[in-house]
Structure 1
């Protein structure tokens, strides 16, 4: 594989350590409707759109309830993430994004958040100066795991799909990449482990930001991780 001209990063669980904040916001959104404690597998829902998650967490609700819960979630997440902003960015992420930018790579954030919420999180954590583009769930015809968000990002950056790499922590990120004709690199510090990411089609899985940097700088030579499946 040639060195990627574009790198499309997931946000939650990939660039920022937000799953615990998300779970707390899920609790705040569900509590008024008696849908707590959260199910044991709630963490596995992270990375999916709220329109998919909330009917699963509040199964006795209806559209009115889910819309109200969505507003509660967004308010809670914004408040909690601002309070924890100084600790949310994974170690090494700022340096990686800076290096990629200085080397001329185009950077996009492709997330299941709505675009406004993604910008708010990037701004509160100080990562907003790095991406050339932010694609939220609301900008694509279909969200992850459909390829639409990744294809929209590539087109907006003026790149072909085969010139892009997707980096993410969930099988939905990987499926999106594969179906878009892009290389997928998983990271195992988010919501899914290496086995799940490889099963979804990841070419490589990084166990640290340093390892991810190595893959991104020379993916064609970094085959050891794949060989350990």
Structure 2
């Protein structure tokens, strides 16, 4: 099937609220090392920055490469063990995906999460068979903010990049989308530290709640200049 346009999403902090399980994994790691747990409110803003930034937050010290690699492996093992205990789609996301399907708008996922975690998470969320394309952080030689994953996703959907929208909650999402030539939307409901200003990311639009996604199904023609 040929689609007229597509909406591509980041995963953690954009489509799915995975912070509870990632924070639990970090606290499991800290507990195993005899360290105090961190409050969820302190961990949540850093989830979209990835495992290493979360580990730095928890250990509060400069870690050499070998120590960081060891902790990262242990952290990911903790996360895999509780991958989708509390993770859910953000309210409004399921309705938006239904609207895209009904409007013949393709959609897919481009994440920096490794495939061995992305695939079971999407299965648990009921998205594996629905997404038109899924690009993980280890699918290609480069991950975001490089545009390669987004350009590859567009090719898999049979669309030019200019016919795609990319939605994400981190500056690297917007950097990747802009470099790929896509219309970009900053998802401000995601995991954003207090001192980070999404208005400075140069996204084409700021969106403050996931229920703003559903109207895109009827707006893409005008937004992207496609019939």
The CA deviation at 1:63 is 4.2
User: Comparing both structures, which one devotes a greater share of its residues to helix?
Assistant: 1
1:93 lines up with 2:93 in the alignment = yes
Q: Distance in 1 between matches of 2:193 and 2:167?
A: 14
Q: Distance in 1 between matches of 2:205 and 2:193?
A: 12
Cα root mean square deviation, aligned: 3.1
1:78 matched to which residue of 2? Answer: 80
List runs of 5+ in structure 1 lacking aligned partners: 223-229
The CA deviation at 1:144 is 1.6
Any runs of at least 4 consecutive aligned residues in structure 1 with deviations exceeding 6 A, and if so which? none
The CA deviation at 1:193 is 8.0
List runs of 5+ in structure 2 lacking aligned partners: none
Q: Distance in 1 between matches of 2:156 and 2:8?
A: 12
Q: Distance in 2 between matches of 1:156 and 1:35?
A: 45
Assess, with a 3 A threshold, how the Cα gap between structure 1 residues 60 and 206 changes in structure 2: closer, same or farther. Answer: closer
Q: Distance in 2 between matches of 1:208 and 1:42?
A: 20
Q: Distance in 2 between matches of 1:49 and 1:79?
A: 17
Q: Distance in 1 between matches of 2:162 and 2:34?
A: 47
> How many residue pairs end up in the alignment?
218
2:181 matched to which residue of 1? Answer: 181
The question of whether the paired residues in 2 share the 8 Å contact of 1:170 and 1:192 is answered with yes
Deviations 1:158-214 (A, max 9, x none): 221111100112222111111111111122211138982231111112222222222
State the TM-score, normalized to the length of structure 2. 0.80
